[in-house]
Amino acid sequence: MNEAAHTPAPPPAFNFRHAGKLYRLQLNARFVCAVEDEMGALGTLARRFAKGDWRVSEVITLMQMFLQQNGDCVDYYTLGDALLAEGFSAPLSTVQRFFACLPDSACAARPPQQHPPCTAKG
């Protein structure tokens, strides 16, 4: 038997910036399930974002979860105020990259690929 076939692939990950700091979001089952518990089915959420049908509160929540996954605890409203002041272009790009890193089975209808696909290296 080929042992390489049984070696699990590294978890998907991508880099993003917030407030001048570079972060690396490593996806794992616990984190993805936490996002679904907080926000609902990822496929539905991804389809809505792809259509531009998103809420400011959803972007703030996802960004807060991404930052918390990296060990940064940021107050929801403080983060929201910062995002409102900076604009939502970068956070939306980060959210789209998150959706792009999910396996097809988790997110059947993906938004158009605007970023290089994520890899285990970034």
Residue 46 is predicted with a pLDDT of 94
Q: How many CB atoms lie within 10 A of CB 1?
A: 5
Tens digits of pLDDT across the chain (122 residues): 555 566 777 789 999 999 999 999 999 999 999 999 999 999 999 999 999 999 999 999 999 999 999 999 999 999 999 999 999 999 999 999 999 998 875 554 444 444 444 444 44
Distance CA 6, CA 30 (A): 22
Q: What is the pTM of this model?
A: 0.79
10, 71 contact by CB (below 8 A)? no
Quick check: 90 and 96 in contact, CB under 8 A? no
Q: Is 36 exposed, middle or buried (0-12, 13-18, 19+ CB in 10 A)?
A: middle
C-alpha 36/C-alpha 45 separation (Å) is 9
Q: Which pLDDT score is estimated for 103?
A: 80
Task: Tell me the two tokens of residue 54.
Answer: 């998103």
- Whether the CB-CB separation of 43 and 108 falls below 8 Å is answered with yes
Q: Determine the pLDDT at residue 122.
A: 44
> What CA–CA distance (Å, rounded) separates 116 from 114?
7
Give residue 5's pLDDT.
61
